Structure 1
Amino acid sequence: MEPSGGTSSRADQFKRQPDYDRTSCDTSLSGLFPSAALNFTANENNTVGLTYSRRITRPGYDALNPFEYFLDRYTFNRGNPFLKPEYTNTFDLSYTLYKKYTLSAGYSRTTDGIAEVVLPDAEKSALYQTNANLAEQISYSLNLTAPFTFTKWWSSNTNITLFNNQFKSPDLSGQVLDNNQTAVQVYNSQNFTASKTLSIELSGNYQSKMIYGTFRFKPRYTVDAGLNKSFANKKMNMKLAVNDIFKTRYAKISSAYPGLDYRIFQRGDSRTMRLTLSYKFGSNEIKPSRNRSTALDDEAGRLKK
C-alpha cells in the first residue's frame, strides 16, 4: 500500500511525528457497569421494551505490543502500549408486533473508543497501522426485522438496519478527526422446504458505503446458499453450504483521515464449500450442559485479539 497525493503534499503528510496518547492509562478495577431491562405488554400482539447497559472493553494484548513489523515498503504495523479501555453506554427501545415483527431504535456513546487507524510516520516516510483511542463515538440506529411465510414450503426473513456513526477526536496524530456517515445494511434469507427431509436456503447481505473511524468503505454484497438433508428417521443429517457464491466478499477502503490519501483492497478465501455429516446417538431428550463464562474466558478472549 503506497500513499498517494491528497489534500496536502507528500512532505506535509509526513512532517507530522507519529504520536501516542501518553496520558496515564486507566488501570482502575473499580466502576459500576449496570444493565437494566423493562418490558411492557399492552396485549397479546403488542410489546414494548427498553434496555440500558454500560460496559467496559479493554484492549487485547496484541494491540498493546509496541513491536513493529513491515507489511511492505511503505506500510508497517505498530502496537500502542498506551491504549486505554473504552466505555460504552447503550440505550435500546423496541416494539414487537404479533410476536414476529420488531422495530427498534438504538443510541450508544463510547468514550476513548478503541479503533484501528492508519497514520503517517514522518521519520520512516511511511504509513503505519495501529490502534488508537478516539475521544468519542456516537451511534444512532433504526432496525427492522420482518419474517414472512408465503406458503407451507416458502418463508423468508428480512433485517434492515439504518445507522449513523460519528467519530470525533480533537488530536489524532496532529489532526482533528470529525467523521459522520449514515449507512444501511440489508440481510435477507429465503427458505424452501422441498420435503420433510430436504430444505434449501438462499441468503444475501448488502452494505452501503460507510465510514468507520479513519476508514471509508465502498458498498459491498455477498450471496450464500445451503442445503440440508436428513436420513434414518432424522438421526443422520447432511449439510452442504456454499459461502460467497459470486466471490464479492472483499473490502475496498480509502482514507477518511484529514490530509491523507491511500487505497486498500482486501480479499480473503471467502468462497468456500463445506459438507457436514452428523449422526445422533441415544435419546434426543437429554438436555445439553449449560455454558458458563468466567474471568479466565475473558482473558483468553483478549489473548486471541
Structure 2
Amino acid sequence: MNRAHKILSVLLLGSYGLGIQLLDAQTVSGRITDRESSPVTGAAVVLQTPDSIFVSAAVSDADGRFTLSAQPEQYRLIVQHLLYRSRTVNGTGKDVGTIVLQPADRTIGEVVIKAERPIVRVEEGRLNYDLEQIVRDKVVNNTYEALQRLPGVQEIGGKLTLAGAGDVTVILNGKPTTMDAGQLETLLRNTPVSRVEKVEVMYSTPPQYHVRGASLNVVLKRPNDYSFQGEVNASYDNCYFNAGNATGNFRFSTPKLALDAMYGIDRVHTMQYYNLFSRHTLDGQVYSIEENEQLRNKSYRHNMRVAGEYHFDENSSIDLAYTGKYMPDIQEDAQTTGNFQTSDIDGRREAQMHNIALHLRSGFGLDAGGDYTHYTTDNRRWMHAEYADGNRNRFTLAGGQRIDRYNVYADQKHKLSQGWNLGYGVSYTQTHNHDFQTYTEVEGDIATPSTDSKLKEQTADFYVSLGKDCPSGISWSVSGTGEYYSIGNYRKWAFYPQASLTYMKTPEHILQLSLSTQKTYPGYWEMQSSVSYINGYSEIWGTPGLRPQTNYSVNANYVVKQKYVFGAYFSHTQDQFMQTAYQSTERLAMIYKMMNWNYTQYVGLMATVPFRVGTWWDSRWVAVEQYARHRCDDFFDLPFDRKKWILQCQWDNTFKLNKNLTFELRGFMQTPAIQGTYDLKMVGTVDAGVKWTFAGDKATLSARCSDIFNTSMPECNLRYGGQDVRMENSFYLRTFTLNFSFRFGGYKKKEIKEVDISRFRH
C-alpha cells in the first residue's frame, strides 16, 4: 500500500471511530476485487447499522479479504479506496461474498492520475505475481503459456526454467502431487488464466510445500459467491501438420461449495526434422556419415478433471479432485535416410493416467492430505535398417510401463507472539514401477536385451521451520528437512537446509535473499539396463546406478516500485545427470547416454524492466548474464571441464490498437552456449500475434505466429577429444495458432429482500 492509500485508510477509520457500539463477538467477512477479479489491497471497509450508526472497520489485505469483528442482524458496508469508486452494500449474513469495485479517475486541475496496479508483491519471502494483469491483452491461451510470461521464466527443451534457479517445479494450490511434470503441464494447458488468482514464485520453497528448490505455485480462485461460470476454448495449430484442441471448463460455486469440471481433447500431429553429419573415427579410419531423420507423432489426447471443495468457514475446508489423461492410439514413426544406412521404425503406443487427490485444511493450522497416481503405457515397435555394405538389421519390440505412486502428508503451523512463526510436518511417498521390453523376430548383428524390471521407491521427510516478522520491516525464516530415500538396494539419508530473508521498509523497495537445496531423481526408465534404437546408427542407453543430483543455490532479488526486479544468483549442482552423444570407439554407432557429471555451476545477474508509453504501448525487457562451468572426470574416455559466458535477452511488446484490439511482438536471443561437450550456436526467436476481444469482453479471437524465422533451435556441434558431430535441428519450427475462447457466468443468486417484522408480535 502506498502512502496515499495509508493516509486515506487512517482518515476513514478515524472519522467513523466516534460511533463505536459494542455487539456480540461475531464477524462479517468478504473479499474486494476489481472488475477483472483481481484483489484490491488497502480498501477501507466500514460496517454500519441500517440507520448509519458506526459498528466496526477494517482494511482489505493482499488477497482483498477483510474481516469485521461484529455482525448486526442487518448492516450496511461502505467500501472506499483512492483508486476506485466508493460502493455501499447492504447485507444480513456473516459472509458478504465478493464486492467488485469500479476504477475511478482522480482529476487535479488538468492532470488526470491513473493508478498502475503493482505487478509483483512480496509476502513471506514469495514473489506474488498477478498473472491476469501480466498477460492482459497478450496472445496467451492457457495457464501454461501464461507462466512463460513471468519474469525470468522460459521453456527450454519442453521444461520450464527460472533464471537463477534452473529447473523449476510447478505446484497447484500449494499442494504436493504425484503427477509428473508432463501430466501437470497437460492440466495447466487446459486451465484458463481466468481461473488463476495469483502465481507465487519461490526461489527457496518453504518445506510445507514438500518440494525443494525453486517452484511456481499456481493458486486458483476460491468460491466466494453464488455463480455458475465457465469457459469454452477451441484452437487450430499448424506446424508442418495441422493440429488443434477443444476444451470446456465449468464451475458452480456458492460461498461454501465449489464444483469444477474440465474436459479437453487434443489432436496432436507433429514432425521433427534433423540433419546429422558425423565424422566417425574407428580403428584409425574416418567414416563420413550423413543422415536425415524425420520423426512423426500423431495421436488424440483426452484430458479431464473433476474437483469439489467445501469451506466449513474462512479457515477450514476439504478438497477432492480427480485428474485423468487417456491417449488410446499414439503413432510414432521415424524415417532415416543417408549414406551409411536407411531405416524405418514404426511405433504404436497407448497410455493413460489417473490421479485422485484429497486435501484437508483445519482452522487451527493443520493441513493434511494425500494423492494417488496410476500410470500405464503399452507399446510395440518394428525396426528395419538397410546398410550401405549390404547388411541389415530388424526386430520387433513389445514393452510397457506400470507406475503406482502414493503420497500422504501433514503440516502444522503456529502463529506465536511477537511475530514468531513455527511449523513442522511429515510426508511419505511410495512408488512401484514395472518396466519391461521383449525383442522378437531379431535379424542381424544388433544388441536386443529383453528386460523385466521392478523397482520400489520410498521417500520419507520430516521438517521443522521457524520464522519471525519484525517491526523493522525484516522477516526471515529458516528450516531443515531430513529425508530418507531408498530405491532397490540404494539407501540414503540426507539433510536439506533452507533460509530466506526479506527486508521491506516500504513497498517501494524490497530486498530478498534465499538459500535453497534440492535433490532431483532420474526417471525410472533411464535407470534400466536397456537399449532402445532411434535408427540404425543412433542408440539410447539406460544407466543402472544413475545417482540423483543435488543442487545448492543462493539468490538475491531487489524489487523496486513493485515492478522492477534485479537479481543475482549462484547455483552448484553436484552429480548433475545429463544425456549427451558419444561416437563409439568400438563400432559405428552414436550412443546417447544419461550420465552423472561431477558438477555444473552458474553465477549470474538478471534484470526485469517493464515500461509503458501512454496507454498504447506496454513493454518489458528481461536480461540474464551468466557464467557457466560444466565438469565431468568420467565421461567415457573424454573428461571435460568447460566454461562459458552466456547472455539471454527477451523483449516483449504489446500495442493497444483500440479498446478491443491488441498487437503483440516478442523477441528472444541467446549467445553461444555449452552443454557438456556440446557447443550450441547463437539462437533467437521472433513471435507476433493479434488479439480481438468482443461480446462485452466475454469472447476473444487471437492469431499468433511463433518462431517466424525458424531460428529457435540451435545448431549443435560436438568437436571435442576426437569426436566430430554436427546436428541441425531447425527444419520447420514456425507455428501458426488460431484460438477462440468464450467466457460466461450469467447466473447469480438473486438477493431476496426480507420483510421487516421487527415490530410484530412473536
Q: Which residue is 2:626 aligned to?
A: 163
- Residues 267-298 of structure 1 deviation map (CA, whole Å, 9 limit, x = unaligned): 3642111111111121599xxxxxxxxxxxxx
State the distance in 1 between where 2:681 and 2:504 align.
41
Does residue 1:11 correspond to 2:474, yes or no? Answer: no
User: Which range is displaced more, 75-84 or 49-58?
Assistant: 75-84
The one-letter amino acid paired with 2:579 is E
In structure 2, the CA distance between the partners of 1:25 and 1:261, relative to structure 1 (3 Å rule), is farther
Task: Identify if the C-alpha distance between structure 1 residues 257 and 56 changes in structure 2 by more than 3 Å, giving closer, same or farther.
Answer: farther
Which stretch shows the higher mean deviation, 165-174 or 68-77?
68-77
- Report the residue type matching 1:3 in the other structure: S
The letter of the residue matching 1:211 is: I
Provide closer, same or farther for how the CA distance between residues 268 and 85 of structure 1 changes in structure 2, counting only shifts above 3 A. Answer: farther
Q: Does 1:177 align with 2:640?
A: yes
Give distance in 1, aligned partners of 2:719 and 2:569. Answer: 25
Q: Please give the alpha-carbon distance, in whole angstroms, between the structure 1 residues aligned to 2:599 and 2:565.
A: 29
Contact 2:685 2:710 in 1 (8 A): yes
| Alignment match of 2:739 (pick from 273, 276, 293) | 276
Deviates more, 1:86-95 or 1:241-250: 241-250
Name the SS for the 1:245 alignment partner: coil
What's the secondary structure of 2:639's corresponding residue?
A: strand
Find the residue that maps to 2:740 and give its secondary structure: strand
Equivalence for 2:694: 231
Q: Is the 8 A contact 2:282 2:585 kept in 1?
A: no
Q: How does 1:190-269 map to 2 (within 5 A)?
A: 190-255=653-718, 257-267=720-730, 269=732
Return closer, same or farther for 1:268/1:35 CA change in 2, 3 Å cut-off.
farther
Give the SS at the match of 1:280. Answer: strand
- 3-state DSSP of counterpart to 1:262: strand
Could you tell me which residue of structure 2 aligns to residue 99 of structure 1? 562
Contact 1:25 1:84 in 2 (8 A): no
Distance in 1 (alpha carbons) for counterparts of 2:583 and 2:285? 7
Shift of residue 174 of structure 1? 2.2
CA drift at 1:261: 1.7
SS in 2 for 1:172: coil
Matched residue SS, 2:733: coil
Offset at residue 160 of structure 1 (A)? 0.4
Deviations 1:145-179 (A, max 9, x none): 10011221112101000011111112211222101
**Counterpart residue number, 1:300:** none
SS in structure 2 at match of 1:122: coil
Task: Point out where structure 1 has 5 or more consecutive residues left out of the alignment.
Answer: 15-23, 286-305
For the 8 Å contact 1:13–1:259, the answer to whether it is kept is: no
Determine which structure has the larger strand proportion and give its number: 2
Normalising by structure 2, what TM-score? 0.34
Change (3 A) 1:212 1:115: same
Q: Determine the C-alpha separation between the residues in 2 that align with 1:63 and 1:139.
A: 25
| Separation (CA, whole Å) in 2 of partners of 1:180 and 1:26 | 36
Query: More deviation in 238-247 or 128-137?
Result: 238-247
Paired residue secondary structure (1:63): helix
Aligned length: 273
Residue aligned with 1:250, SS: coil
| Counterpart for residue 54 of structure 1 | 517
Q: Secondary structure at the match of 2:700?
A: strand
Answer whether contact 1:2 1:75 (CA < 8 A) is retained.
no
The TM-score, its normalising length taken from structure 1, stands at: 0.82
Retained in 2: the 8 A contact 1:76–1:129? yes
Alignment match, 2:611 = 148
Give secondary structure in 1 for the equivalent of 2:543.
coil
The residue type equivalent to 1:11 in the other structure is D
The CA deviation string for residues 118-152 of structure 1, in whole angstroms up to 9 with x for no partner, is: 12323323221111100111111110110011221
Task: Kindly report which structure 2 residues correspond to 1:102-113, keeping only aligned pairs within 5 A, or say none.
Answer: 102-113=565-576
Counterpart Cα distance in 2 of 1:27 and 1:97: 47
SS at match of 2:724: coil
Tell me what 1:36 maps to.
Answer: 499
Q: 1:26 to 1:45 in 2, by over 3 A?
A: farther
Distance 1:140 1:257 in 2: 25
What residue identity is the alignment partner of 1:119? Answer: Y
Q: Matches of 2:277 and 2:617 in 1, distance apart? A: 50
CA contact (8 A) 1:158 1:189 kept: yes
Show structure 2 runs of 5+ residues with no match.
1-275, 287-486, 749-762
Aligned counterpart in structure 1 of residue 602 of structure 2, from 122, 136, 139: 139
Moved more, 92-101 or 107-116: 92-101
Alignment partners' CA distance in 2, 1:95 and 1:13: 57
Which AA in structure 1 matches 2:500? A
